[in-house]
Amino acid sequence: MDKRTTESEVIAELRDGMTIGIGGWGSRRKPMSLVREILRSPLKDLTIVSYGGPEIGLLCAYGKVKRLVYGFVSLDSIPLEPHFRKARQAGEFEASELDEGMLQWGLYAAAQRLPFLPTRAGLGSDVLTINPHLKTVRSPYDDGEELVAMPAIELDVALIHMNRADARGNGQFLGPDIYFDDLYCMAAKRRFMSCEKIVETSDLAKAGSFHTLKIHRALIDGVIEAPGGAHFTECPPDYGRDEAFQREYAATAKDPDAWEAFRAKYLETSEAEYQRLVGRKVSE
């Protein structure tokens, strides 16, 4: 089955109030072309689940986020995402701040169709204080250890970005880590993957070792060829992070005029124009 589609067709499926999981990690291999399409849409009141990077800052700055579930929000070389920080300090969304392991476990519980999974992550910290809905359970075995009952984080939609994919939806990462993109897909009802290049299925085996083929076609409902689709985050070995662009973006959090100019130039235009402005060529 040929699952090729476009960013606009994917975002047309989304609805206000949905829970959307966004793959990648910090400012690394984020599905930014899909995020930019959300920014261009009228979507609102979204719950976003992420090991956050610039997609969180952008979605917050555009007023798209009603609730945010996250382990952190960082630009990596800039420790705290400034647009996220601005929105967080202003109380513009409901925040569910979790330990990184708790977020992973919540996705894993949803992937396994379980209501929760027990974990030690979060014990002895303020995570339980600021998330009073979280409960603990006692082990039914001899030691009776108290554990956090991490509830499943069920997603309506997962958005991820891979280095390579085939038209059937098999996806491959060629960088250092899958992060938790496979878990996002397993935890979601609908799953969409952008990629740097769509290749023949036989070419996936040539590009990397077997362990890099982590996204199975059964986990994907649509695949988008998007060269430069992770910009300005890194997507090695295809390209590194665009640090100059990231600094320009980050600086706009303190300058409303600069932010409006940045939006008008880079975000409120077509994806092809965006890629032209940042010096990349997209597929026709």
pLDDT digits (tens, 9 = 90+) for 19-45: 999 999 999 999 999 999 999 999 999
Are both 94 and 235 inside the same structural domain? yes
pLDDT digits (tens, 9 = 90+) for 152-186: 999 999 999 999 999 999 999 999 999 999 999 99
Is 120 found in the same domain as 166? Answer: no
Query: CA angle, 102 as apex, 101 and 106 as ends, to 5°?
Result: 120
Using an 8 Å Cβ cutoff, are 53 and 73 in contact? Answer: yes
Same domain, 60 and 193: yes
Tell me, yes or no, whether 186 and 169 share the same domain: yes
- The reply to whether 85 and 191 lie within a common domain is yes
What pLDDT was estimated at residue 281?
64
Give domain status of residue 1, yes or no: no
Using a cut of 0.95, tell me whether the model's pTM lies above it.
yes
pLDDT at 276: 95
The verdict on 185 and 134 lying in the same domain is no
DSSP letters spanning 195-216:
EEEE--HHHHHHHS-GGG--B-
Same domain, 136 and 82: no
Q: Is residue 111 part of a domain?
A: no
CB–CB of 60/52 below 8 Å?
no
In this prediction, residue 23 carries a pLDDT of 98
Q: Who contacts 200 (Cβ-Cβ below 8 Å, separation ≥6)?
A: 166
Structural domain includes residue 78:
yes
Query: Which CATH number goes with the domain that contains 257?
Result: 3.40.1080.10
CA end-to-end span of the chain = 22
Closest CA to 102 of 73, 76, 128: 128
**Residue 40 included in any domain:** yes
Q: Is residue 107 part of a domain?
A: no
Q: Same domain, yes or no, for 183 and 120?
A: no
Give the pLDDT of residue 265: 97
238 Cβ partners below 8 Å, 6+ apart? 163, 174, 196
Residue 132 shares a structural domain with residue 252: no
Give the residue carrying structure tokens 């002895």: 124
Clarify whether residues 139 and 97 are in a common domain: no
What gap in Å lies between CA 229 and CA 32, rounded to an integer?
6
Do residues 92 and 203 both lie within one domain? yes
47 found inside a domain: yes
Asked if 239 and 32 touch (Cβ cutoff 8 Å), the reply is no
Low-confidence ranges of the chain (pLDDT < 70): 208, 281-284
pLDDT of residue 43: 98
On whether both 188 and 253 belong to a single domain, the answer is: yes
Domain extent, residue 121, equals 116-151
